[in-house]
Amino acid sequence: MIPFSSSSSDLLLTIRGLLPSLNEQEQKVGQYVLDHPAEVIHLAVSDLAQRAAASDATVFRFSRRVGADGYGDFKIRLAGELAAGRQSTYASVRAGDSVTEAVQKVIAGEVKALEDTLRVLDLDALGRAADALLAARRVDIYGSGGGGIAALELQYKLMRVGVRAVPHTDAEMQVISATLLTSADLAVGISHSGESPDVMHALEAARSAGARTIALTNHPASPIARIADVSLSTAAQEALAHGYPLGARVAQVALIDVLYTCLTLKRHEETDLSQARIAEALHRWHG
């Protein structure tokens, strides 16, 4: 059983999640650590700096950016994770893979994305997000591309617990709807990268209108995560599988399912009543 974590305490997952928000030199160090973790625990500062084509100061700064007290503490924590058998990466599908190899990589990647998301899941933030959704008069959901699909999934789950929500996947409609929100409303922005300009603009408009905001992203230090009142993160690896990160979609759906479950627990009687009414209506419709 993988233990729940109320914060991103896994060092390798923290590095992977923060990597896009680091500067170019820090990213070089981070990527080298992710690619060669077993080697790094034996390297001096200058050795890691040389291998990553960065400076000693960058290595020290990187260590603190990912939550360590210094490079020594960073190596101790990294060694502990490796001793526990945790892996930070998983193989992506490549040209020339057999069907068997491709299937194994895809399933393994999706399972790993779920396990890693469980490790980084902030339970306090999850509770705050659920409370905000239940208290909202109106909920807007913004997503584009793959995030648009997740927006529809979230709307479906919210409706089943009696929370009325409207997904918006068109950039102009996102901003128009966000502008008309009030302090009684809530906006949810979904972006795997956390850098979708359309979702970012919509969340900013919603905040300006007085609404509370929630971000669902894979990167806890991304722009939409920073501006949201509550941020929930997945932990899928940035290994492309035919144009999309392996495990990203299944991790998003799992996070939505977890949020839905929290809502049902907080609104148990109302949810049971809503489900009974929905079942009765669908039964009559199907005849």
The predicted-structure confidence for 100-129, as pLDDT tens digits, reads as follows 988 988 888 889 889 999 989 999 999 999
Burial of 280: CB neighbours in 10 Å, binned 0-12, 13-18, 19+: exposed
Q: Identify the weakest region by mean pLDDT among 78-87, 121-130, 151-160, 226-235.
A: 78-87
pLDDT band per the 50, 70, 90 thresholds, residue 92: confident
- Cβ-Cβ contacts under 8 Å for 142 (sequence gap 6 or more): 151, 167, 168, 169, 174, 178, 187, 188, 189, 190, 198, 199, 202, 203
> What backbone torsions phi and psi does residue 20 show, to the nearest 5 degrees?
-65, -25
The C-alpha atoms of residue 164 and residue 144 are separated, in whole angstroms, by 20
- Between 222 and 245, name the one with better pLDDT: 222
CB within 8 Å of 175: residues ≥ 6 apart: 201, 202, 205
Q: What is the pTM of this model?
A: 0.81
Q: How many CB atoms within 10 Å of residue 72?
A: 11
Q: In 139-267, which residue ranges form alpha helices assigned H by DSSP?
A: 146-159, 171-179, 197-208, 223-227, 248-266
- Whether residue 8 is predicted with pLDDT greater than 60 in this model: the reply is no
Pairing of strands 186-191, 139-143: parallel
Q: What's the rounded mean pLDDT across residues 37-49?
A: 93
Please give the average per-residue pLDDT across 29-46, as a whole number.
93
Q: What is the pLDDT of residue 81?
A: 85
223 pLDDT above the threshold of 80: yes
Q: CA-CA distance, 271 to 2, in Å (whole number)?
A: 29
What is the per-residue pLDDT for 43? 93
**Distance of alpha carbon 133 from alpha carbon 182, whole angstroms:** 14
Identify the helix (H) or strand (E) that includes residue 169: none
Q: Please give the residue that has the higher pLDDT: either 206 or 277.
A: 206
**pLDDT (tens digit, 9 = 90+) per residue, 145-203?**
889 999 999 999 999 898 999 999 999 999 999 999 999 999 999 999 999 999 999 99
